[in-house]
Structure 1
């Protein structure tokens, strides 16, 4: 019999266990707050605000385990939502947060616990709360733990203009908001900058180029009350304003001149870049500027300009590597567009929700793929076209004809509409006419060793005889045969291949009529497989023509690049299994779907048009890479495409003209035609219709073509992609926007145009705030929200939230007029302040958040180079055009590519060497080195804020890059020719060219000493002077002497290495 504990002992054991458990879990009836936390609580403001004080702590330290991401929530607890935090009862029996009660709030106990297993955040998270952060959380709970919606998701509100004491300082309403804050902090604003500084500041901010000395002098002398405003207006109207603004937008749009990835094939998107410049110069309202870029092609009666604007969403990287899975990269391109939308236009890190719910912001994975759905119907393949000499532009595309080309096209189309409508009328017997048209025939009866042309030489190979021209017979690979319609047939397998010599049989252009026929027998239904093909593989855009079975319907295609530049016609009837069918295809050379006729068993069949937009050539372009991949006119195996395994082909005939109905019927009835052997193929007569069609094709082939957006006729179904994997399908979703920001209204179309309209709804809390914040950042070096790319929970709060809302409302109410908003900012006293850093401000506000002075910051890479060329008198003022190739280290591209067709950097000459930096070619795998060194992005992804760094490499660029060495020489030449009679005046003139101001006496002394030293050096070694001056291609003058010019060049180079040259102040 077991011995049982008596009742008192049992009770004692239970009490002891409970005490241990309570001690273990850190529970106590009253919360003991450490003295340091109490002191920190006492130092806090009287009333805490959730958005300003609390949420950043919760987001940084708590949301990763207790935030929006359902998959990562620990203990089934959410702290980002009030209802969840208040309602959750923990294992202690307490609420996670009990408003107004620290002792009853488990969060309070856990953040103060010394027990590592109980304390939050856990040691495993590697996150710790500071004393101040603990104090804030405790005081907030004690005050009632009031949650508020995230500030950026609240509607943009009208705020009353704040009162200020120093009314005389105020120039417009911006100053009221800024000065009100300064007065609360007891800080005086800075004095207005001097006029030399102001004009230089405005010129850089609005055009990216420094003003000339004459401009500075004229402004300094102008004492009229509106002198500053007229100066601002002049720069706003400068054609270079658009270039300055576009330079920023190209970062956002991830614009580049190449596709990226390993192959990094080049593209010409310069027309889109030039449109951006033009749009800014014309001051197109911001809502239109964005709407056209997102959905210009979907606008009613869309213009060419509106469609061109959609190139914004074709700027992403594109892959042409061998072996890629096209669908994987098609998904990747749409992921990029979705992420770009989030960063560029929503100011949110939506990309964090691709694989799982966002850890910090209320954006679920379903929200992410609902945004993705807006882009998922883009009319494109996942692989772009391979090879440096491949002329196919990945679709969708837009043709950009010149005025001359447009006129020519209109004339030719009008002529063809009058003359090319007569039906074919031939009364001769089909047996005669078909002999005249026949180019090739294959009976597929047997494989022979035939002497045949294989390109540049003739050799004996296993082949199937072309009875029309045995010298152009069809080579065979792993051929199997079976009983056919007459004799043997070709039995298709995965490796079966029969092909005529490439480019010698069936190499038609789109303006040439041709036809073919054969017998076919299929054992089953095929989703999509080729019967025959004279086309490049998928990675070359399928250029050529082919005949497929698509769900056993005949599908004939002529393609420059499928699907955007192609004809695709399908029969409405499908072929049954295990029956012999005679099929024929006739094409009239008109480049239209109407010119295609499909026949089954001698009868023309009903057909449907899938695509009818063929514009450019269809003959595969020969290059070294296609020796392997392009097989000529072929049957059977096709690179990376499904083979029609088990099907049989027999009695093939190829003709160089269209078929009549009578000829098609006769081919079916005759089965095997009598063939006349000849070595020269019959040619059609070069009639006037043929000639004019060729002329039209030549115009189209020479017309510039650019990538744009375009949607499929029927939207794709969009799934949540589990873990973000392209082929791991979850729930089906519809195009929609995150409800936490603003639900997508039923009144808007569920496409990109609806998305663009949603962005500019008055209720949208983000678009206006984000836009004005970035404009503000352009002129103050820092946005009202520092985290330009993140307005979510991990981003910073605005320093002046009421000012941000004021500007956002103003922008919208004034029709999204960008120049008007910019002028409003530049006219403020806040903008005009001196940027001189007062010692007391360095202590109080080192980041200049309060705006008690103007900001000074290093200029972007483009401005630094452009300014050097400008002061040298070398900078080209030409706007627009293809990208150019200025100086860069020789061999760089070649060294960074493993391709046999690697691109060679071909240095520009003449004016193109000195174009503005916005026109410099940006190759993603090897961007311009000087721009990278000065913090420009590689443009692989959307960038809304560049980093700012200082490094020795930057100084080395300014001293050694040929652009800056040559610019120094030409500034020196200007000093000597324009600066006056004596060297002191010349050095002062050079100083003004570089800095925009007159040097002090001390600076003059230093300049003179350096000049004397350099002059002595070069007089002793004139060969070195010549070597220095020989850098660069522009012709220069030596009328003042080689050593003199070289010495002055080095002085200028030193000035270009000062902060004053690279800093906007």
Structure 2
């Protein structure tokens, strides 16, 4: 056990780990991004000149297959893996050299989609070297997911480990393969697992000890029932659904209109309440598509599922496409949006079926009632839509009736008859005769409890998706869901009471060899806490978690972050904060089937340096003083509070060794960079330096607003800043940490086409100006001769106005290279990457011990 908490997520070890999983895109979203944002543009704007069908390919460049695109044309490759921003394809789209397409520059949003695609690795599913001109012929009824759901016969298996039918299905498959499952998890690990899975919060040490004293099946079932009845259940499971619903509190990239959805939180609160109330899943789905047609008492806020998506500069075609995608992938597990421009390349979904659904949503219009997210209502007259050839609204094909998908319709399809058809669509999706809906939901629930679904591609049950590892078990769960009145809580209860859920992460060595990917469920996968569970667990351990429910979204980051649960955090769609991205929060731009799990240096740096973590560690240390003055009692209390158990003798010795280590009392080194204002005394070449007092998110300035009443426009950010007048110059100061020789290199820029520019000077504290430059509507290099510095010497980068004080925003990216005495390689210090906000007060030895306990693996992992 000792290794489990000592194995801290240290900076050194984390820096050595490789980044995992998929660039900017998670599971399935790379394919989705290509099919929705890239392929349609290539077909419409590039294929006429750069495809096999075009006859003579211009510049020897074909873009109609992945292989041809990788080869490039007469001028060489068009994609650059090393420097994506320099890819000739992207430069041509930006009209930087070649200007493609020659008919006119594409919208900025489209070009940004290509930039994102290339930066993430240019995922391209087009196989072979010949373009696909016709979709394959597919027999829908031959694919497992389109076949009717039938309750399978439960295998007859004799084993002490078979508690439920779920165990019988799993054990039968394991015996066929000749493998043995892992033993049962310890009572400590099991309780921690079920608490996190059902509520997103850890059990207390007292709750763990109580279960350890009575780990009977009856006691465990009572705990499960209590957790299912807890309001914390809806908060945990509601957040899962919000990933599916691509929930955010803002619209994304829009122009002059309000970027916020002021009442988005009401949809989030309805979702949480629905899970707590165990609203039958079929009713849950119907309300989110057609609540406006369910009577006066129907929850209109439920329609946030459709209306709270990205706004695509209010392009109606893209908004409808987003709604089709979130409904079909989220509820049916089908990538119907891939049929927007052509018949689906793999699944039996013709373009006509896409535009049948398009007609349903085009026959609805958006309203914005008070105290509610936007809702959809039927138009006075429904729309009879036509197929847009190649997805182009200007190329109109045959009309399409409003009707459900052919591949999941049993018998003759009947067009929808009531208004837009949204309610009929919702009822078709939620029908027990639909072969997809119950399977998809049962698989999602399994995946959220186990870390991976029985079908690994949770939002793609089509021909390109993974087949289920246990098809009979999946159908058993789906039929049980329907028979139980579509109760999510009863489905969760069935699963967590099974032996396969309760098994250990430690499998027999033979099973690890036979079942390395754990497809036979021979063990539990060890899982790290996700963003919400991690943050909430830290706050709970430190006695700071606010369990108030509902209401407007709160900021999780910034100067005054909320201490409420993370599910109530404000989700910014366009500029997702670094904290969210660092811990694998999915992009709210699109539906997310599951979350990527990455390991990156930024995660360790967050635990070491973030103001929130340091504040929590300080709070935990202060709280531990309640245990009394005795240090042994205080250490014991702190360990139990974070790890849920008492330390072993060896762990207790390690804790005291850390606590009494002289290094634990050392103050952290002073930062190399500081940010201020002042002026140069020209006669003595000295600087009257004052630290800028206010940090506003990404910039140091005089006060909350600019211009500050006292010092005006002075501001410094990572890339540059703005000076005030001649007596309020902007000063970025570097303090030498050691003696040596320093060289300075950089670029000063004045980007505005107005004003007379700025003057920049480098001032050494020995009383010397070592460089001076001006930049007016231009960029200039700023380099100096080597300077000798002693430890504590300062080098100031001073910028002031010239004649005019207007339009003086500047950029100044400088790098100092310090060659320390006795060393052969210089250490670089760059102004942009070294930029930071205010450092929190340093932790004392108790605070540092608290920080270690909050970072250790036993705290950071579920079990």
- The CA deviation at 1:172 is 0.9
Deviations 1:808-843 (A, max 9, x none): 001001100111110111111111111224433332
1:859 aligns with 2:529: yes
Q: Pick from 276, 282, 288: which aligns with 2:283?
A: 288
Structure 1: distance between partners of 2:465 and 2:602: 32
What is the match of residue 708 of structure 1?
375
Q: Secondary structure at the match of 1:204?
A: helix
- The CA deviation at 1:988 is 3.5
Conserved? CA contact 2:254–2:311, under 8 Å: no
Q: Pick from 483, 486, 489: which aligns with 1:816?
A: 486
Deviations 1:738-788 (A, max 9, x none): 222225753964511111111122321100100000000111101000111
Conserved? CA contact 1:162–1:177, under 8 Å: yes
Structure 2: distance between partners of 1:122 and 1:816: 40
Structure 2: distance between partners of 1:850 and 1:880: 40
Quick one: structure 1 residues 1005 and 878, their matched pair in 2 at CA, closer, same or farther if it must change by over 3 Å? Answer: same
Q: Secondary structure at the match of 1:764?
A: coil
1:1063 aligns with 2:730: no
Structure 1: distance between partners of 2:428 and 2:849: 56
What is the match of residue 746 of structure 1?
414
Q: Pick from 925, 931, 939: which aligns with 2:580?
A: 931
- The CA deviation at 1:256 is 0.8
Alignment of 1:624-635 (within 5 A): none
- The CA deviation at 1:965 is 1.3
What is the match of residue 319 of structure 2?
333
Q: Secondary structure at the match of 1:374?
A: helix
What is the match of residue 724 of structure 1?
391
- The CA deviation at 1:847 is 2.4
Conserved? CA contact 1:169–1:829, under 8 Å: yes
Conserved? CA contact 2:402–2:416, under 8 Å: no
1:398 aligns with 2:369: yes
What is the match of residue 481 of structure 1?
none
Q: Pick from 284, 297, 306: which aligns with 2:299?
A: 306
Question: Bigger shift: 717-726 or 934-943?
Answer: 717-726
1:356 aligns with 2:345: no
- The CA deviation at 1:933 is 0.6
What is the match of residue 759 of structure 1?
429
Q: Secondary structure at the match of 2:397?
A: strand
- The CA deviation at 1:1015 is 7.0
Q: Pick from 492, 497, 509: which aligns with 1:839?
A: 509
1:1050 aligns with 2:848: yes
Mark the runs of 5 or more structure 2 residues left unpaired by the alignment.
1-42, 54-125, 133-137, 672-694, 696-839
1:124 aligns with 2:110: no
- The CA deviation at 1:1016 is 5.3
Quick one: structure 1 residues 259 and 1014, their matched pair in 2 at CA, closer, same or farther if it must change by over 3 Å? Answer: farther
What is the match of residue 204 of structure 2?
212
Q: Pick from 143, 147, 163: which aligns with 1:154?
A: 147
Alignment of 1:126-145 (within 5 A): none
Structure 1: distance between partners of 2:398 and 2:444: 37
Conserved? CA contact 1:720–1:731, under 8 Å: yes
CA RMSD of superposed structures (Å)? 3.1
Quick one: structure 1 residues 1014 and 334, their matched pair in 2 at CA, closer, same or farther if it must change by over 3 Å? Answer: farther
- The CA deviation at 1:722 is 1.3
- The CA deviation at 1:1043 is 12
Alignment of 1:90-489 (within 5 A): 124=129, 149-166=142-159, 168-222=160-214, 225-263=217-255, 265-268=259-262, 269-299=264-294, 301-303=295-297, 305-319=298-312, 329-380=315-366, 396-399=367-370
Mark the runs of 5 or more structure 1 residues left unpaired by the alignment.
1-68, 76-120, 128-144, 321-325, 381-395, 400-703, 889-906, 1025-1031, 1033-1041
Structure 2: distance between partners of 1:1051 and 1:788: 41
- The CA deviation at 1:262 is 4.7
Structure 2: distance between partners of 1:982 and 1:836: 38
Structure 1: distance between partners of 2:630 and 2:516: 44
Q: TM-score, normalised by structure 2?
A: 0.62
Alignment of 1:801-950 (within 5 A): 801-888=471-558, 907-908=559-560, 913-950=562-599
1:790 aligns with 2:460: yes
Q: Secondary structure at the match of 2:369?
A: strand
- The CA deviation at 1:845 is 1.8
Conserved? CA contact 2:141–2:147, under 8 Å: no
- The CA deviation at 1:333 is 0.8
Structure 2: distance between partners of 1:942 and 1:1014: 51
Count of paired positions: 566
Conserved? CA contact 1:347–1:788, under 8 Å: yes
Structure 1: distance between partners of 2:156 and 2:319: 50
Q: TM-score, normalised by structure 1?
A: 0.50
Conserved? CA contact 2:200–2:533, under 8 Å: yes
Structure 1: distance between partners of 2:278 and 2:162: 28
Structure 2: distance between partners of 1:221 and 1:858: 27
Displacement over 4 Å in runs of 4+: 145-148, 747-750, 1020-1024, 1042-1045
Quick one: structure 1 residues 1045 and 940, their matched pair in 2 at CA, closer, same or farther if it must change by over 3 Å? Answer: closer
What is the match of residue 616 of structure 2?
967
